[in-house]
Structure 1
């Protein structure tokens, strides 16, 4: 890094902290201000915040690494823009109508307080195993690869810088700084892609295809592929995608900040457009890095170091500083988002249930303390991730494949059918989580005992690709949910009215119809057309 690079990075951080200071200058009167930015955010900021929250460390480190390691199969997970549309068109109207802060709170309205408790605790555990630990780990890698700073020092720096404006500024600081970070990140990643593709050792898009081979360009691996079967990528990926984009506090909290359903839906559509970009911003640069390494231009020891190594090696001074700022921006963006979501879940869904009469001031303080505890627990899980086989992105998707299916089933059928009840939901959540936890334990044993091999039925279970295992858990969850619900009494009217399809009043139906126009429909269809075209192009 040269002097000009450091100047660019410093200018970025001054601008970032300036935005955070402006937000902090505005009084946060209550928890709605702190956790949902006063529910007064427009569609452009909502969509940018969705994108910036999603595009974080797992993409900078993991997705680029996956592009170098295996090519395009992981693009299936990145082309989930159509699922973001489901959030805006199907789920959001029910969430907004219920007036909830959190997804566990919605489950309490739809099912029971037990469902709220279960999802609150499960979500916090999931964040520790995935989002928090992944972000900290990736922060250490980026600082080490790009700036030459020790791994743990870099991880702590990522935490400290992000924690300051997140804890003090709340959700408003998060969504407005994320809007800035979105454009810096896109510009930086595009610079890496453009310069890498046009390197003399590659010679553009056709040269890249020739060097890396058709296998790297193929999204559609055989159904019996041990790592990325297309059946698992499509169907298992959709199950995880619905959980992540439509039921996870981390993402849904962004649309809940919108002024109304119309702004929230348009924010989801805008976020859907942005979500198409990661294939070209991270997977393609990963393949470029693989091509450059085959040509002897680039060297890296670990696929997770691909993007920082490209920035350090290929880019000129000044641009290198801008891209470095973009990488750091995305790291902090994803970490800031999960900090705020964890804080919201613990404060609203756990602490407030135990101490309902505490003041708003005390709730804000508790939320900030909760963030610190979550960070410490995330640190403790990093050794498991460091030893996990494959890239960081593989690890993330595998853990999410074990957590997501029962939650997806309970939310999806809870909204689509008024007959699904609390008993069915609880049995499904307990059973689905138990199966997923069992597989995660097996994976962890293999991670720490590389020479250990399971035999018999355990060997058969561990041999199932994680994406196929998500389908297995989901099918079991659906059967349990429907079977138990139909064999037990119907839910009470207050558990379904306005919260499930088939229960809306004429006024509520009219309200939904008035919340969109032909522009919203046309742009949504355009997203589907673009996704389909990309999937057809990358067929090997």
Structure 2
């Protein structure tokens, strides 16, 4: 497909509005709180839309339709599970984040344990932010652009996108990221909704035609235990662990909650994001499953969404949807770069150089943002050697993050575990993770990676508790316990609590409907 003149006008208009918004946001004072946390002034609508947009590149617009085309709609389990995790975070974790005025999530582990675990989590999160979030998003964007503009090549395209996102992220900080995410999420929702309707139109808007043409297994969320894509046990024990890390512990996402103006804004923002996370089932996953009938001869699953645009979007709409795709890529890239810079400066540089002024920290934060941008751009083309983008992202998370979630769980729920037991328990969990990864790559371990994630989480908790029970490690001080009666049951408005329960019921109803 060749883009029409109207498509180029739409794309150009989108980028013009984006640049104008960035320039306006950049006028703010560039101190530390402004660069990293938007001055702790974000409202619920900005938080919710930005949370949603930051997740919408590789793992959603590109990865979800491709995975649905390849193996069915069970991939949407990642989305509805995210909604439940966000509701849990709004009720139980956000009060701690906001109440303690954290700048980074790893700070919480230092307050509960010591600086070693803070740096351990921060370093791991920094690594994941660059090689998964940023590089994956750049790769996804380059893949799309190369389909519409065949003359482009992978490496230079990744680099050009990285420069664009890196410059406005470094200049405007989290406020530029969050406010551009609002624009981008609206473009994404509109474009993907239009495409979903156009795809459904090919079946005369008749669900019975879809269910008759697509294999029943492709239209079921909960799959058998031996399902190679996502077995029900992996959904039950693995996805909550992966979802908790991504939506609660991951600085890349949690930074919006940390920048909230108050607890209610954080809670309402997380709940809005939870509502939006129910939409990908209808806007991205089901069209991807329908594409198995419409586009049966694709060579690569990751090209489903751009191919649907090429085949079914008329002039103008194709430009809007391509703008939506690029919006999704930019949202993930800018979010990951800003969070990585925050982790590096706040958790590593600032403790060693406490005399730095806020403006100096902000200046060095900009420099680190651009440096990390360069590293991600260099790594992104290497993803092409992996079997699929969604598998690359999720399998890496499955082996790296469960021990970290275990430490977070112990920090919140146990008053007795000390710092050394937690640190060495997490390190032991990562050794088990490495052994499992090697065994899986060698064919010795046949378990699905989501099941492995759940088991690694449990093994790490047992390791931590056993190390503490051995008596060789110092006990925790009672004052270090995170949960208190007040933080377990935050004083959120009754209406908000009822809305959370209603949304949880709707989410479970969708699971039952598509089972």
Q: TM-score, normalised by structure 1?
A: 0.90
Deviations 1:423-450 (A, max 9, x none): 221012211222223444566xx5xxxx
Is 2:184 the counterpart of 1:181?
yes
* 2:284 corresponds to: 282
CA contact (8 A) 1:143 1:151 kept: no
Any residues of structure 2 matched to 1:378-527 within 5 Å, and which? 378-382=376-380, 384-389=382-387, 391-440=388-437, 446=441, 454=442, 459-461=443-445, 463-486=446-469, 487=471, 488-496=473-481, 499-501=482-484, 512-513=490-491, 516-527=492-503
* 1:451 corresponds to: none
Q: CA deviation at 1:258?
A: 0.9
Q: Give distance in 1, aligned partners of 2:202 and 2:120.
A: 52
How many residue pairs get aligned? The number is 509
CA contact (8 A) 2:66 2:303 kept: yes
Q: Give distance in 2, aligned partners of 1:11 and 1:160.
A: 20
Deviations 1:71-117 (A, max 9, x none): 11111111120100111111111122222100111111111011111
CA contact (8 A) 1:86 1:246 kept: no
From 162, 170, 189, give the equivalent of 2:173.
170
Deviates more, 1:374-383 or 1:127-136: 374-383
Deviations 1:187-232 (A, max 9, x none): 10011110011026x6532222211210100122211233421101
Q: Give distance in 1, aligned partners of 2:262 and 2:468.
A: 33
Q: Give distance in 1, aligned partners of 2:378 and 2:55.
A: 23
* 1:48 corresponds to: 49
From 494, 498, 504, give the equivalent of 1:528.
504
**What is the Cα-based RMSD across aligned positions, in Å?**
1.9
CA contact (8 A) 2:33 2:40 kept: yes
Deviations 1:220-278 (A, max 9, x none): 22112334211012210111111111111111111111111111111111111011111
Q: CA deviation at 1:388?
A: 2.0
CA contact (8 A) 1:192 1:311 kept: yes
Q: Give distance in 2, aligned partners of 1:126 and 1:213.
A: 36
CA contact (8 A) 1:399 1:440 kept: no
Q: 1:382 to 1:442 in 2, by over 3 A?
A: farther
CA contact (8 A) 2:139 2:381 kept: no
From 128, 136, 161, give the equivalent of 2:164.
161
Any residues of structure 2 matched to 1:342-381 within 5 Å, and which? 342-381=340-379
Q: Which runs of 5+ in 2 are unaligned?
A: none
SS at match of 1:125: helix
CA contact (8 A) 2:78 2:239 kept: yes
Deviations 1:459-483 (A, max 9, x none): 322x221111112211111101222
Q: Give distance in 2, aligned partners of 1:154 and 1:380.
A: 11
* 2:321 corresponds to: 323
SS at match of 2:216: coil
CA contact (8 A) 1:72 1:217 kept: yes
* 1:300 corresponds to: 298
Q: Give distance in 1, aligned partners of 2:12 and 2:435.
A: 46
SS at match of 1:490: coil
SS at match of 1:101: coil
Q: Give distance in 1, aligned partners of 2:455 and 2:237.
A: 11
Is 2:67 the counterpart of 1:66?
yes
Q: Give distance in 1, aligned partners of 2:504 and 2:268.
A: 15
Deviations 1:149-195 (A, max 9, x none): 33333322321221121110100000011011111100100111100
Q: Give distance in 2, aligned partners of 1:338 and 1:175.
A: 12
CA contact (8 A) 1:417 1:501 kept: no
Q: Give distance in 1, aligned partners of 2:196 and 2:298.
A: 17
Q: Give distance in 2, aligned partners of 1:532 and 1:385.
A: 35
Any residues of structure 2 matched to 1:222-241 within 5 Å, and which? 222-241=224-243
Q: CA deviation at 1:359?
A: 2.0
SS at match of 2:218: coil
Q: Give distance in 2, aligned partners of 1:12 and 1:239.
A: 37
* 1:27 corresponds to: 29
Q: Give distance in 2, aligned partners of 1:437 and 1:122.
A: 14
Deviates more, 1:69-78 or 1:151-160: 151-160
* 2:196 corresponds to: 193
CA contact (8 A) 1:416 1:501 kept: no
SS at match of 2:73: coil
* 1:450 corresponds to: none
SS at match of 1:358: coil
